[in-house]
């Protein structure tokens, strides 16, 4: 299998008031193209920090992050942004939709950034897949939390990312809505053949991926394939 993400000896250390705080300490793993992976661990274990490094949102203090064959530590901020734009999709706990844009316009944004063609039709098709074709002209404030997260799913897949990072994608949703969003996430992912990396506290959600990497105290506690692998 081809590797899409390679993490080698990665540490993240913050300096504060003359003190060093090590959030991640010598992390190593790689992720194969097309796989589904959960990163779990208690609050403060470094999960979200790790996701930020994997996605090129932040830089490691030491070590190497190679995404789609590109060493991110060798790039400046603009170059990392270009890599994200080309290869990476995101889903966030708090949806992060643009409040002044409609659902349809939010889904169109990544396509516009890429200079894609027929973007309105493609965005409408994705909204239809997540069951929101009839809400395309509604603004985020007019949508429920579950609807907003479904719009963010459509937006994340609109640019056909090579790898999709989901940070606590059901963290702000009730159980019933969470189940709908999770089903859609895995269905869309399967159709697109995207590599999916989910950071989550939810062990039931983690168990639906093919592999679980457990983080504790900034180090990898375990890394195991699941029954769904």
Per-domain residue ranges of the chain:
34-57+88-225
Cα separation, 44 vs 122, whole angstroms: 39
Average pLDDT over residues 83-104: 92
Mean pLDDT (the chain, rounded)? 92
Cα separation, 19 vs 158, whole angstroms: 43
What homologous superfamily is domain 34-57+88-225 in, according to CATH? P-loop containing nucleotide triphosphate hydrolases (3.40.50.300)
pLDDT tier for residue 228 given thresholds of 50, 70 and 90: low
Q: What is the pLDDT of residues 100-149, one digit of tens each?
A: 999 999 999 988 887 778 899 999 999 999 999 999 999 999 999 999 99
Average pLDDT over residues 178-205: 92
Q: What is the pLDDT of residues 5-25, one digit of tens each?
A: 999 999 999 988 889 999 999
Cα separation, 216 vs 180, whole angstroms: 29
Q: Which residues of 195-222 are buried (b: 16+ CB within 10 A; e: fewer)?
A: bbbbbbebeebbebbbbbbbbeebbbee
Residue 59 has pLDDT above 70, yes or no: yes
Average pLDDT over residues 174-189: 91
């Amino acid at each position: 299998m081809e590797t899409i993400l390679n993490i080698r000896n990665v540490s993240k250390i913050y300096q504060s008031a003359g003190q060093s705080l090590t959030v991640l300490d010598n992390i190593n793993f790689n992720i194969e193209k097309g796989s589904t992976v959960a990163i779990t661990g208690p609050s403060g274990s470094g999960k979200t920090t790790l996701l930020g490094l994997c996605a090129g949102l932040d830089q490691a203090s030491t070590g190497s992050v190679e995404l789609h064959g590109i060493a991110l530590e060798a790039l400046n901020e603009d170059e990392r942004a270009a890599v994200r734009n080309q290869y990476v999709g995101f889903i966030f706990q708090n949806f992060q939709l643009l409040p002044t844009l409609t659902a349809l316009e939010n889904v169109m944004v990544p396509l516009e950034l890429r200079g894609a063609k027929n973007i309105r039709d493609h965005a409408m098709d994705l909204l239809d897949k997540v069951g929101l074709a009839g809400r395309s002209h509604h603004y985020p404030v007019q949508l429920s939390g579950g609807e907003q997260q479904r719009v963010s799913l459509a937006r994340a897949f609109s640019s056909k990312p090579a790898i999709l990072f989901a940070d606590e994608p059901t963290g702000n949703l009730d159980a019933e809505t969470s189940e709908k969003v999770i089903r859609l996430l895995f269905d869309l992912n399967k159709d697109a053949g995207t590599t999916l990396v989910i950071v989550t506290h939810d062990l039931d959600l983690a168990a639906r991926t093919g592999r679980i990497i457990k983080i504790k105290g900034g180090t990898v506690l375990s890394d195991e394939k699941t029954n769904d692998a």
